[in-house]
Amino acid sequence: MPGNDYYKVLGVPKGSSAEDIKKAYRRLARRHHPDVNPGDKAAEERFKGISEAFEVLSDPKKREIYDRYGYYSEQIPSGAAGFDFANFGASGFRDIFSELFGGLRGSGQKKQPQRGADIEYGLAVSFEDAMHGMAAAGINLERNENCSVCAGTGEVKGESGTCSSCRGTGQVAGRLGINARCGRCGGSGKVAPTCSVCAGHGQVSKREIINVKLPAGVDTGSRVRVAGKGHAGILGGPPGDLYIVANVAEHNFFKRQGDNIYCVVPVTVPEAALGAKIEVPTIDGKALLRIPPGTQSGQKFRLRERGAPSLRAGGARGDQYVEVKMTLPKVISEETKDLLLRYAKNNPENPREEMGLQ
């Protein structure tokens, strides 16, 4: 007889792939598992429903029967002969269940250590600190640590109580009338009481000041790894890592492209026409740059190894490119005006001549 629409229970369309069905189950199981919602009967019923739906839709043979007849039963309907129901698919179900909850509670299998999750932390960095590095920066980080009361198990050792999922029977009834071994207690009907400090999660949140060091040359998006400062591992597993993701501020006149630095420096008409030695800024301070006579506005000059340190090349530095921009003289007196008129008379050049213009 028809039952619930398993696809609607998992929130996926009928043509979904096996991987999409698995992802949907994992998402819903995390939300409605009895350990996450202790004492919530409605959540317990929803969890049974999504578990039942996944048992059927994750097995290709069961799914084909369900898609054809609108329900699944071990009593094979007419025309469906030839399907082998000996393998109920429980092993795959248990594997995913164990993967979801890390073997802490609910799988009935041997508990396995797991590595803790990594943490990403965005850090605002000034342009100068990105170029020269930061010896130490204290960041206030929230990370999970193993509960000291239950030692990360989520259960109080040495005590036992009746399993709330099966009410001590060791079995749960599916909506198709098929009894299955209770996943929470593994069929024993007994469970260790949930730790009241961590609410059965095995871990507690903790704030910590962590000093991190940034190497010279980081750019926006650079990831700096701090080993062992992620979330704590499960059941003795190693902790995850902390990744500092840099967000470098813009500079007033420096622009970075790769490991090269670019800037624009103004020059006067006499300096460009006659040549000169001028001061230019670098990330290390001021430097002298010789510009030759006849320099044009927009011309670029390279300062070798005055760019940013490279994270990929062991600190080797890029180059700096200085673009000169000619500034027009201001007419501040009649004498200045007279000099410009005399210059124009003695230098009757037409820069638009090549364009056929007067």
| pLDDT per residue as tens digits for the range 5-54 | 899 999 999 888 988 998 898 888 888 887 777 778 888 888 888 988 89
What one-letter code names the amino acid at 61?
K
Instruction: Please check whether residue 112 lies inside any domain of the structure.
Output: no
Q: What is the pLDDT of residue 74?
A: 57
- Shared domain check, 237 and 125: yes
Q: What is the pLDDT of residue 187?
A: 76
What mean pLDDT value characterizes the chain?
83
Instruction: Please check whether residue 149 lies inside any domain of the structure.
Output: yes
Residue 140 has pLDDT above 50, yes or no: yes
Instruction: Please check whether residue 187 lies inside any domain of the structure.
Output: no
Domain that holds residue 36: 6-101
List, for residues 185-208, the tens digit of each pLDDT value: 777 777 778 888 888 888 999 999
Q: What are phi and psi of 120, to 5 degrees?
A: -110, 135
330 or 105, higher pLDDT: 330
Q: What is the pLDDT of residue 178?
A: 60
Measure the CA–CA gap between 353 and 358, rounded to whole angstroms.
6
**b (16+ CB within 10 A) / e for 287-319:** eebebeeebeeebebeeeebbbbeeeeeeebbe
The arithmetic mean of pLDDT across residues 107-136, rounded, is 85
- Counted domains in the chain: 3
Instruction: Please check whether residue 87 lies inside any domain of the structure.
Output: yes
Q: What are phi and psi of 104, to 5 degrees?
A: -65, -55
Instruction: Please check whether residue 57 lies inside any domain of the structure.
Output: yes
Q: What is the pLDDT of residue 158?
A: 62
**CATH code of residue 56:** 1.10.287.110
**CATH code of residue 143:** 2.60.260.20
Q: What is the pLDDT of residue 247?
A: 95
The arithmetic mean of pLDDT across residues 281-300, rounded, is 96
Q: What is the pLDDT of residue 98?
A: 47
Lowest mean pLDDT among 18-22, 128-132, 302-306, 321-325: 18-22
The arithmetic mean of pLDDT across residues 160-181, rounded, is 70
Compute the radius of gyration of the chain from its Cα atoms: 36
- Provide DSSP, 65-130: HHHHHSS--SSPPTT-TT---S--SHHHHHHHHHHHHTTSSSS-S----BPPPPEEEEEEE-HHHH
Measure the CA–CA gap between 116 and 275, rounded to whole angstroms.
63
* Three-class SS state of 317: strand
Give the distance from CA 260 to its chain's centroid.
28
Structure confidence at residue 86 as a pLDDT band (50, 70, 90): very low
184 or 284, higher pLDDT: 284
* Three-class SS state of 306: coil
- Shared domain check, 261 and 207: no
List, for residues 89-98, the tens digit of each pLDDT value: 444 454 454 4
Q: What percent of the chain has pLDDT over 70?
A: 85
Instruction: Please check whether residue 323 lies inside any domain of the structure.
Output: yes
Q: What is the pLDDT of residue 102?
A: 44
Instruction: Please check whether residue 295 lies inside any domain of the structure.
Output: yes
In this prediction the pTM is 0.58
Instruction: Please check whether residue 333 lies inside any domain of the structure.
Output: yes
Q: What's the Cα-to-Cα distance from 205 to each of 192, 209, 210, 322, rounded to whole Å?
A: 23, 14, 15, 51
List, for residues 204-222, the tens digit of each pLDDT value: 999 999 999 999 999 999 9
- Shared domain check, 350 and 266: yes
Q: What is the pLDDT of residue 172?
A: 77
Residue 161 has pLDDT above 80, yes or no: no
Q: What is the pLDDT of residue 79?
A: 41
Task: Provide the Cα torsion 38, 42, 47, 50; round to 10°.
Answer: -170
